[in-house]
Chain A
Amino acid sequence: SYALTQPPSVSVAPGQTATITCGGNNIGSQTVHWYQQKPGQAPVVVVYDDSDRPPGIPERFSGSNSGNTATLTISRVEAGDEADYYCQVWDSSSDLWVFGGGTKLTVL
């Protein structure tokens, strides 16, 4: 089955840029969604269809997807961005929905 690989943790100082990667075999041919989950809360989609943002999500959140890596970029990181982030795809070849292992973003 299709697997997605994320770094367990990323740390960044406030005001800097955080980059969270999601690796998968030819993931560039898939469509990737990204979710933010804060402790004790349900996940929220922050980027969908590789690079689109839902209403209410700051422009600081952006996404890209090419080759074997999809990337979530958070610019001008704030303390409130500290959370777990998950990438997700729909593997249409097997009709399975797959999540990455999650990345804990720490704001120093």
Chain B
Amino acid sequence: QVHLVESGGGVVQPGRPLRLSCEAAGFTFSDYGMHWVRQAPGKALEWVALIWYDGSNIYYSDSVKGRFTVSRDNSKDTLYLQMNSLRAEDTGVYYCVKETGTYSKFDSWGQGTLVTVSS
């Protein structure tokens, strides 16, 4: 059974950095692309970033490009999101998501970790 556990969330001041981690279990992590998806309080889901199974290709939403960096360590079955220059609008729950299929179905989600950007 797929298990994704995010960590690293918390309260951070605007402009400061924060790194999220996602530990994966129950599947061959190195075979799958992984995404970060976030959700501001009371708002819709928003896709943040994708990293291919081998890290060879990475994509970002326009709202985080240049500030966030996604990476993975397949030897540790762990996904990361380095968030720099944080803004109030980055506040929300961040989900680690496994994709599968030809059309990138998001088939497994973590429980999420809350990031609050506030002074």
Q: Are A99 and B59 in contact (CB under 8 A)?
A: no
CB B60 to nearest CB in A, in angstroms, measures: 9
Contacts of A59 in B (CB 8 A): none
Contact of A44 among B45, B61, B109, B110 (CB under 8 A): B109
Q: Are B107 and A54 in contact (CB under 8 A)?
A: yes
Contacts of B104 in A (CB 8 A): 90, 97
Docked Cα-Cα span, A6 to B35, in Å, equals 23
Interface residues of A in 94-108 (CB under 8 A from B): 95-102
Does B27 have its Cβ within 8 Å of any Cβ on chain A?
A: no
Q: Are B44 and A102 in contact (CB under 8 A)?
A: yes
Contacts of B89 in A (CB 8 A): none
Q: Count contacts between A and B, CB distance < 8 Å.
A: 55
Does A71 have its Cβ within 8 Å of any Cβ on chain B?
A: no
Q: Are B46 and A99 in contact (CB under 8 A)?
A: yes
Q: Are B47 and A97 in contact (CB under 8 A)?
A: yes
Q: Are A99 and B47 in contact (CB under 8 A)?
A: yes
CB A90 to nearest CB in B, in angstroms, measures: 4
Does B83 have its Cβ within 8 Å of any Cβ on chain A?
A: no
Contacts of B110 in A (CB 8 A): 42
Contacts of B47 in A (CB 8 A): 96-99
Q: Are A43 and B44 in contact (CB under 8 A)?
A: no
Q: Are A45 and B106 in contact (CB under 8 A)?
A: yes
